[in-house]
Amino acid sequence: MSTSRRVFLRLAATAATAAAAGSALGCAASGGARRRLAMAIDVRKCLDVHGCRACVDACHEAHNVPAIPDRAHEVKWVWKEPFERALAVREPATLPAALRGSEVLVLCNHCDNPPCTRVCPTGATWKRDDGVVAMDEHRCIGCRYCVAACPYGSRSFNFVDPRPFVAHPTSDYPTRTKGVVEKCTFCEERLAVGRLPACVDACPAGAMVFGDLDERGSEIRKLLNERYSVRRRPELGTRPQVFYVI
């Protein structure tokens, strides 16, 4: 198959998936206008459920993310970081007491201007029309350029065969092999069939909101209009599409 035909088929499949996701989620604007999918995390709601890992576990179980005990080889799609480090707060003394020293969720930011996609030599990662930064592990050659380009540490590399470390593999998502990169994909396989990301569905506090930023009536648009939010390292110009409501 020629290179041009492969590219065409990939783009066609991506467009079809994005269209199905928008229609099923009720995110499609009239006239087929472009959607802008994003996530908002209500930090205070998240902290109300102390020690909760429901979203992390749901994500990792749904995507066969290996539980590798060696931290040097750790693979993760969603995890927690101290608030001050995750949001790069320069004056932690000014933080509200409830947030100081607390941990917040971090994941791929699905940046509007993603540096990772520009350095991939094989097109294994790309930004979809709806804003999702997608990943095709089968096209990944393990060069790790995307890992180096991501300023948030949101990509993991499989230094060892991950499959022995998946306790209960699911056939709903492919397992990976040694030598490839992986990350959060906003559960594009769930979006394609009208479902929300696994982490959003699993959160017992309703702290995670997902939807179309360009739809005025969407839950995420209303939340961001009403509450103050921040993004990770906005000075870098990557324009993250994961917002932290504080």
Residue 87 binned pLDDT confidence (cut-offs 50, 70, 90): confident
pTM tops 0.85, yes or no: no
Fold of the CATH domain 3-245:
Alpha-Beta Plaits (3.30.70)
Name residue 68's amino acid: I
First to last CA, the chain: 50
Could you read off the pLDDT of 168-196 as tens digits, one per residue? Answer: 999 999 999 999 999 999 999 999 999 99
pLDDT for 127 equals 97
Q: Which residues of 211-235 are buried (b: 16+ CB within 10 A; e: fewer)?
A: bbbbbeebebbebbeeeebebbeee
Could you read off the pLDDT of 101-135 as tens digits, one per residue? Answer: 789 999 999 999 999 999 999 999 999 999 999 99
Q: Where are the domains of the chain?
A: 3-245
Could you read off the pLDDT of 143-155 as tens digits, one per residue? Answer: 999 999 999 999 9
pLDDT for 221 equals 96
DSSP code at position 173: S
213 vs 186: CA distance, rounded Å: 15
